[in-house]
Chain A
Amino acid sequence: MNQIKNIRQMEQKLQRADRRQSRLYLFCNFMALMIISAYSALMLSPTVQRVFPEGGDSRKQMYMIFVMTLVGCVIFTIYALGLFFRHKAGQLGILMALGASRRRLAPGLFREVIVLSGISAVVGTIAGFPFVWMIWQIFRLILVDSSDMVLSFDFRCLFISLLFLLLVVGFACLTAWRYLKKTNIMEVIREEHINEPVKELGRWCGPVGLLLILAGAVLGYGAPVACDAWFFISVPEWVSILYAPVFVGLYMVMLHTVVYGWKSHKKNPYKNIISRSMMKFQGKQTVNNLLVITLLIAGGCFAIFYLPTNSISALLRYASQSYDYFYQYQADQAVPDRETVEALGKDYGLTFRDWNECEYITLGIGGLSKIYEEDDVRYHVEYVPMQGETRVLSEDAYRILTGQEVDVKPGTYLNITNQEESALYTNEAAREFTNMVTRKQIATTFAGYLHYDLLAKEIPCCILDNEDYAGISEGLTDEWRGQFVEFNVDGKDSYPFANAFYHLFVSSFDENCARPFYYDRVQKIRENEAGMEYWVDTDDMVTISYEFPDSFMFRQFWVYQPDFRILSQNDYLRNVAVLFMMFLFVFIVCMITALVVCYTRCQSIALNNRYIFDDLKKLGASPAFLDKEVRIQCSNVFKVPSLVGMFAMFFLFTMILYANDGRILKAEWAAMGVCLCIIALIGGVIYAVYRSTVKVIKGQLGV
């Protein structure tokens, strides 16, 4: 056996002996850096940046979840570092007690800390890239592949990783320095056994916490709506602080979990008293950890719930589409006519039936607008003539298209909405329609709704009396006229035909039509005439380019995007792939982080309480009793944050769906059902990890 001759050799031997502790720290650091590096690489990747509209909600959500993950990872690494040092402190303390000066111990300690943190952080940062690339390729291989999904990196993301890396190494050195600076050696020696009891608030804190969560959610979500509806105030973003009770409530719920648990044992108050006390005496760290785990699980659920809530309504809408093919175009565009389409259909062995087409015109329509005061917060609602554009059909045209007989009284108009009357873009306030070429106007009043899903789109659609229509359309140029076309396939439809027709259709448009659906020509004219610049002209949120007719951007935002059922159904996943993959990735990252925090928390419970378990064994505790004690502790770490995180997010989504239009639609019920299934699946995974964690901890405690 080689005899140790000096302090360097002793440190090396001690480090070898501490491999298990070091491995845990290395693993946590590596994971945190890999997750940050992978997330930032993906988030800043040109592939993702192209798909998430600048300033859009989805991009904000992506950044928000990134910040949440970042905070989670910071807490996670600090916690892992704390665990590592708590163990290391025992050694340091003994060496100090035996006369090793801080100056003598410092080089070895800093060397160890820098090597461990540095290596794990650098390797984690680098590993983030192949990790994200591998996941992305698996997505492409298993789920969907599209030209949108060629993953490219913007290596500016390395700055974020580098910053985090420096933070990790810096914090590790700071912690080492803090331990070395301690003047009370006994404190250093006893560090491993220091308890952090949590302040008990009383049994009311759990239920009050739940109420606060509910109140915060309702207040945070409802206050802006109420301000808008009652006080005509558009609330600034800082009003989000009203969500604060949610976090206070979460803390109280976790505190209650740690101190009292959720089962009352009135008949047997001593039941679980040991496991409860063990948790209580590590209370501060445990409560903090449970909070982080809850937030991570909630973040993961937020990301994964996004998928069904967004996809199910789209897929149901495609399935219930009344015609296989529906499209529209501006009259000045050389779009393939019926003969050309039928000839193309023949090439694919298709014949068509129910061919309907009719003319529509685009007019300026008056409506109510929010007019903001100088402070940009308060506003009043005012009627604005030529507020925006609307598509207008005559009674005859509507009958041709839908087969529905309709009688519109002269001087009135009917709005078109969908069957569930959930269409957002309808206008009940118009007093006149304006011909944008001659500026002729007709006075109108709203007279009710008609239902036709294919016309209930982002641009409002109205029906006028035949004579009113003829009068107002006089003098309109082709730029303001258009055609609706719909038909069915006789027999089984063909995706290759739909695809070929789609590309032919897109290629027939000129640059004047390369605009997103929210580009309102009437509003532009009105603002330009008032000497203002139209905001979309200076905004590059969405760029429509005919070069990429299959891109997510194009299909999502092009104003003349057709509804070809088979194309929409088959390409749905491909169109939203990047968006979905990003959310799926966020989900994976949040869940992995949450599970690793759960695992390490259980590890620290084992580390801190191993003496208690030894004592319990000496006192004759049966293996079954010890087994139960371990399971209770671990299950508290896994169970409560998982349940709270998952169901809080489920509740939030339900609230959002309800708040959209004051009810929950059929597709939304279905989406919520899928969300519940996802919760069950996540629960299963968490349970499996819990079981294996219990097994590992029992092994470590010799139970």
Chain B
Amino acid sequence: MLYVKELYKSYEAGKNKYEVLKGVDFHVAQGEFVAVMGPSGSGKTTLLNCISCYIPFDKGNIKLGGMELAGMNEDDLAKVRNTKIGFVFQDFMLLDGLTIRENILVPRIVQGEVEAEAEKLADQLAAMFGISHILNKYPAEISGGEKQRAAVARSLINNPLIILADEPTGNLDSKSSRAVIETFNNAKEQMNATIFMVTHDSFAASFCDRVILLKDGTIYRQLEKWENRSVFHEQLLDAMKEH
């Protein structure tokens, strides 16, 4: 599904050059729920932004659903973002001037005319994630947890190959965080969605099938969930303590 090979990315600040990603290699299979964890500055968000085609990368390959992203032109990259990737951001990124239903439909609106089938799907997703009652409300009128569930619904509206989530629980309380993670689990189980999530939150990561641990721009360990969630959570905490 997603192949990342020898990915390099650096930033320049004044005269200094900072290497953020130093040859990152991994892959994510169809229907897998993968988290990336690591301390601040380890390159988690940069990795996600490169996969999302939000920022250009220096070197390496990213293959999504068999398509090579490096070398694609702007229009093609936009198309990939629209049809192949669903996004969930830490601060929701809903458009304040649109209702929740319209926000969910934005990726479809961007494509062209919104058809009845899309509206029906939006309603189904809303029902699946328990936000049907707020469909006609505006973002300013709902809670953070509801906003994030709406964002997850939006990420699924085009039936993407993968959902990329950047700290989706970062701005939420524990109850809302749990609800959002369960939303991801629902998407995975009911729609066979592939989810790639960057997080600081070991509790949220413990719901994933696999966790990639990143430090100083390189992957130093990958943990797979063989046992139940709480054991996996303990393993995660131990692995992080070791480094």
Pick the residue among B83, B98, B113, B119 that contacts A99 (CB under 8 A): B83
Q: B170 interface residue, CB < 8 Å from A? A: no
Q: B142 interface residue, CB < 8 Å from A? A: no
Which residues in A have their C-beta under 8 angstroms from that of B85? 99
The reply to whether B95 and A14 form a contact with Cβ atoms under 8 Å apart is yes
Give Cα distance in the complex from A97 to B53, angstroms.
Answer: 9
CB distance from A35 to the nearest CB of B (A): 32
The reply to whether A99 and B102 form a contact with Cβ atoms under 8 Å apart is no
The reply to whether A99 and B107 form a contact with Cβ atoms under 8 Å apart is yes
Give Cα distance in the complex from A499 to B106, angstroms.
Answer: 79
The reply to whether A16 and B97 form a contact with Cβ atoms under 8 Å apart is yes
The reply to whether B119 and A1 form a contact with Cβ atoms under 8 Å apart is no
Q: B19 interface residue, CB < 8 Å from A? A: no
The reply to whether A184 and B54 form a contact with Cβ atoms under 8 Å apart is yes
Q: A103 interface residue, CB < 8 Å from B? A: yes
Q: Are A4 and B49 also in contact (CB < 8 A) when A97-B81, A98-B106, A185-B54 are?
A: no
Q: Are A1 and B107 also in contact (CB < 8 A) when A10-B102, A16-B97, A101-B79 are?
A: no
Fill in one digit per residue for A77-118: 1 if any B CB lies within 8 Å of its CB, else 0: 000000000000001001111111111100000000000000
Q: Are A95 and B56 also in contact (CB < 8 A) when A6-B113, A6-B114 are?
A: no
The reply to whether B95 and A4 form a contact with Cβ atoms under 8 Å apart is no
B interface bracket (residues with beta carbon within 8 Å of A): 35 or more
Q: Are A94 and B95 also in contact (CB < 8 A) when A99-B81, A100-B110, A101-B78 are?
A: yes
Which residues in A have their C-beta under 8 angstroms from that of B222? none
The reply to whether B49 and A7 form a contact with Cβ atoms under 8 Å apart is no
Give Cα distance in the complex from A98 to B95, angstroms.
Answer: 11
Q: Are A99 and B109 also in contact (CB < 8 A) when A183-B56, A185-B54, A186-B55 are?
A: no
Q: Are A1 and B136 also in contact (CB < 8 A) when A14-B98, A99-B107 are?
A: yes
Q: Are A97 and B105 also in contact (CB < 8 A) when A13-B98, A104-B110, A186-B54 are?
A: no
Which residues in B have their C-beta under 8 angstroms from that of A97? 52, 54, 81, 87, 89, 93
The reply to whether A94 and B93 form a contact with Cβ atoms under 8 Å apart is yes
Which residues in B have their C-beta under 8 angstroms from that of A103? 74-75
The reply to whether A10 and B107 form a contact with Cβ atoms under 8 Å apart is no
Give Cα distance in the complex from A119 to B19, angstroms.
Answer: 48
Q: A200 interface residue, CB < 8 Å from B? A: no
Q: A18 interface residue, CB < 8 Å from B? A: yes
Which residues in B have their C-beta under 8 angstroms from that of A13? 97-98, 102
Fill in one digit per residue for B113-147: 1 if any A CB lies within 8 Å of its CB, else 0: 11000010000000000000000100000000000
Q: A538 interface residue, CB < 8 Å from B? A: no
CB distance from B231 to the nearest CB of A (A): 36
Q: A17 interface residue, CB < 8 Å from B? A: yes
Q: B112 interface residue, CB < 8 Å from A? A: yes
Pick the residue among B74, B82, B97, B119 that contacts A98 (CB under 8 A): B82
Most buried by A among B53, B55, B89, B97: B97
Give Cα distance in the complex from A4 to B104, angstroms.
Answer: 12
Pick the residue among A4, A185, A186 that contacts B102 (CB under 8 A): A4
Which residues in A have their C-beta under 8 angstroms from that of B54? 97, 184-186
Q: B99 interface residue, CB < 8 Å from A? A: yes
In the complex, which residue of chain A has the Cβ closest to the Cβ of B53?
A185
Task: Mark out the residues of chain A between 21 and 61 whose CB falls within 8 Å of any chain B CB in the assembled complex.
Answer: none
Q: A3 interface residue, CB < 8 Å from B? A: yes
Which residues in A have their C-beta under 8 angstroms from that of B113? 5-6
In the complex, which residue of chain A has the Cβ closest to the Cβ of B80?
A99
The reply to whether B87 and A95 form a contact with Cβ atoms under 8 Å apart is no
The reply to whether A4 and B105 form a contact with Cβ atoms under 8 Å apart is yes
Give Cα distance in the complex from A94 to B155, angstroms.
Answer: 12
Q: B234 interface residue, CB < 8 Å from A? A: no
Which residues in A have their C-beta under 8 angstroms from that of B107? 98-99
CB distance from A580 to the nearest CB of B (A): 50
Q: A189 interface residue, CB < 8 Å from B? A: yes
In the complex, which residue of chain B has the Cβ closest to the Cβ of A15?
B97
Give Cα distance in the complex from A102 to B105, angstroms.
Answer: 19
CB distance from A496 to the nearest CB of B (A): 69
In the complex, which residue of chain A has the Cβ closest to the Cβ of B119?
A3
Closest 6 CB pairs of A and B: A99-B82, A17-B97, A101-B78, A99-B81, A185-B54, A100-B110
| Residue ranges of B at the interface with A (Cβ–Cβ < 8 Å) | 49, 52-56, 74-75, 78-83, 85, 87, 89, 93-99, 101-102, 105-107, 109-114, 119, 136, 154
| Residue ranges of A at the interface with B (Cβ–Cβ < 8 Å) | 1, 3-7, 10, 13-14, 16-18, 91, 94-104, 183-186, 189
**Contacts A7-B112, A104-B78 supplied; 9 other A-B pairs, CB < 8 Å:** A3-B102, A14-B95, A14-B98, A94-B93, A94-B106, A97-B87, A98-B82, A104-B110, A184-B54
- 22 A-B pairs with C-beta separation under 8 A: A1-B99, A3-B102, A4-B98, A4-B114, A5-B113, A7-B109, A7-B112, A13-B102, A14-B97, A17-B96, A94-B94, A94-B106, A96-B78, A98-B81, A98-B82, A99-B81, A100-B78, A104-B78, A183-B56, A184-B54, A186-B54, A189-B93
